[in-house]
Amino acid sequence: MTKVAPNEKVNFTKKILDDLDLPPEGKRYIYKDERERGLIVRVTAAGQKTFQLYKKHQGRPVRVTLGVYPDMSIENARKEALKAKGALAAGENPNVEKNKLRQELTLKEFFDLYLERYSKLEKKSWEYDEREVNKFLSHWFNRRLSDIGKHEIQQLHLKLREKNGLYQANRMLERLRAMYNKAIEWGWDGENPTQGIKKYKEKSRDRYILPMEMPLFMKAVEMEENQTAKDYFLIALFTGARKTNVLQMRWEQIDWHNKTWRIPDTKNGEPLVIPLTNEAEKILEKRLKLVHGSPWVFPSDTSKEGYYNDPKKAWNRVRQRATIMLWQQTELFAELIEEVDTHIKSQNNYVYSTLKLFNAIQKEAEERGVELPIGLMDIRLHDIRRTFGSYQAITGSSLQIIGKSLGHKSQQSTEVYSRLHNDPVKASMEKATNAMLAFIGTDEQ
């Protein structure tokens, strides 16, 4: 393919922009779009590609920064360029508002602006932005945006991988990149220091609760002392819904006549109707009697939101109980566990807790040089959702039915999903629920 020369006009495509030559250090190259007059992309030596509108306004050249590629798509850049032209034609200069950001802001000042002006308005996950940035980037809050360099971000990325795992490291890199891109879009005249820093390679998770683990998991849930957490885990398991949707379930969303749960706002931005299996309906009927008029299915007196929002401790107890039961199936481990349990109970200040027993077992195994299997400790809350879909597959459901019941959205299959009815979906969900319950020998259907 022929290379595009700087200042040359070309039809912007993903292939073209991805393959543009980078200028020498300290220089910038400009490339012009054939389709949208005045739309240019400015390329730096670091590889940052910024869309701008270049046009004369009141006899003087004006550059309006639109966004950073590839976070801003080519099509959106053309639309924004057209809007900016309209504003200029109406006598408004978009740079007047943007110039407010040209002053050097600290990271804290900009992050507060980013939260209020973008994240809280556009992102359902804005609370994660607020929590994670305050947790991992607060040591930079008093630094100016331009003072934070690429090398420092690379070091932070590495440090987070070592201490918090590659997924957390990658999410923080993504947040920083998005913040700097927004700063540029809003008029900050600097370069994104995350440019060129690659995310660590991630593996897509395929972990779910295996058939041989299911009876242990179900028994561990049954033993959970927190009734709200216990019911939450079961509803999550029997509906396959996302964690947040289940936690925020409201009674007004339950259609008792049609036995469905309507989630008004899902991750993909569309409502989802989930048929309620018999087991899910039983749990909800029981909870209706427990919550005493609360609008939430899983209310909480201690959370500011009013609903139960922190199942982590209960989830760890369930995983630990199930894992201990798994270890007990091996004679060597069973003897070790019995000895540890007996020793703990013999102490004068004995107060039983799953965590105490679990930690004591691990410590004793380490001292003896015994390597314990990880058991169910690698099961995450989101894996409950994957478990439901997996059991649908185990019982012979089609990918279309699974996608419909889980609310998956894709260009290829959306049309198929829209033609499906809830009857076959519910039948599939009943099969999956019965398959899971079968592993604990229950006859309560």
Whether residue 67 is contained in a domain is answered as yes
376 contacts 213 by C-beta, under 8 angstroms? yes
440 contacts 218 by C-beta, under 8 angstroms? yes
Whether residue 444 is contained in a domain is answered as no
422 vs 405: CA distance, rounded Å? 8
275 contacts 259 by C-beta, under 8 angstroms? yes
Same domain, 281 and 330: no
Same domain, 255 and 334: no
Domain final residue pick, 46, 75, 101: 101
- Give SS3 for 358: helix
Show the tokens assigned to 172.
């923080």
59 phi-psi bin (left φ>0, alpha ψ -120 to 50, beta other)? left
Same domain, 73 and 42: yes
Same domain, 224 and 164: no
Whether residue 443 is contained in a domain is answered as no
Same domain, 296 and 320: no
- Dihedral sign from CA coordinates of 88, 92, 95, 101: negative
Closest CA to 192 of 160, 146, 253, 224: 146
Residue type, position 202, single letter:
E
Same domain, 361 and 428: no
- Dihedral sign from CA coordinates of 137, 141, 145, 149: negative
Residue type, position 363, single letter:
K
What would the pLDDT profile of 13-48 be if each residue is shown by its tens digit?
Answer: 999 999 898 999 888 999 999 999 999 999 998 888
Neighbours of 60 (CB within 10 A): 7
- Which pTM was predicted? 0.60
Domain final residue pick, 86, 101, 116: 101
CATH number at 273 reads 1.10.443.10
Whether residue 238 is contained in a domain is answered as yes
254 vs 246: CA distance, rounded Å? 12
Same domain, 274 and 152: no
How many domains are contained in the chain? Answer: 4
CATH number at 63 reads 3.30.160.390
Closest CA to 137 of 71, 203, 202, 194: 194
Query: Hey, which residues does 418 pair with through a beta bridge?
Result: none
Which residue intervals of 23-139 are DSSP H helices? 74-89, 94-98, 107-114, 120-122, 126-136
Same domain, 180 and 244: no
Q: Which domain holds residue 330?
A: 313-368
338 vs 359: CA distance, rounded Å? 14
56 contacts 87 by C-beta, under 8 angstroms? no
Same domain, 247 and 291: yes
Whether residue 272 is contained in a domain is answered as yes
Same domain, 288 and 398: yes
- Give SS3 for 411: coil
264 upstream amide cis, omega within 30 of 0: no
Long-range contacts of 216-219 (CB under 8 A, 24+ apart): 216/322, 216/325, 216/326, 216/376, 217/318, 217/322, 217/376, 217/379, 218/436, 218/437, 218/439, 218/440, 219/321, 219/322, 219/325, 219/440
Please tell me the predicted confidence (pLDDT) of residue 101: 57
Distances (CA, A) of 304 to 297, 300, 313, 323, 377: 16, 9, 18, 33, 30
- Report which DSSP code applies to 141: T
Same domain, 281 and 236: yes
Whether residue 404 is contained in a domain is answered as yes
396 contacts 344 by C-beta, under 8 angstroms? no
Q: Note down pLDDT in tens along the chain; length 445 residues.
A: 567 888 889 999 999 999 898 999 888 999 999 999 999 999 998 888 999 998 887 777 888 888 889 888 999 899 989 988 888 887 776 665 555 555 678 999 999 999 998 898 888 778 889 999 999 999 999 999 989 999 999 999 999 999 988 889 999 999 999 999 999 888 887 889 998 899 998 876 678 888 899 999 999 999 999 999 999 999 999 998 889 999 999 999 999 999 999 998 777 667 889 999 999 999 999 999 998 889 999 999 888 889 999 899 999 999 999 999 999 999 999 999 999 999 888 887 777 789 999 999 999 999 999 999 999 999 999 888 888 877 777 776 666 766 777 776 653 432 332 333 455 667 778 888 888 888 766 444 4
Same domain, 430 and 281: yes
- Look-up of token digits 């899910």: 280
Whether residue 88 is contained in a domain is answered as yes
Whether residue 49 is contained in a domain is answered as yes
266 phi/psi in degrees, rounded to 5: -110, 175
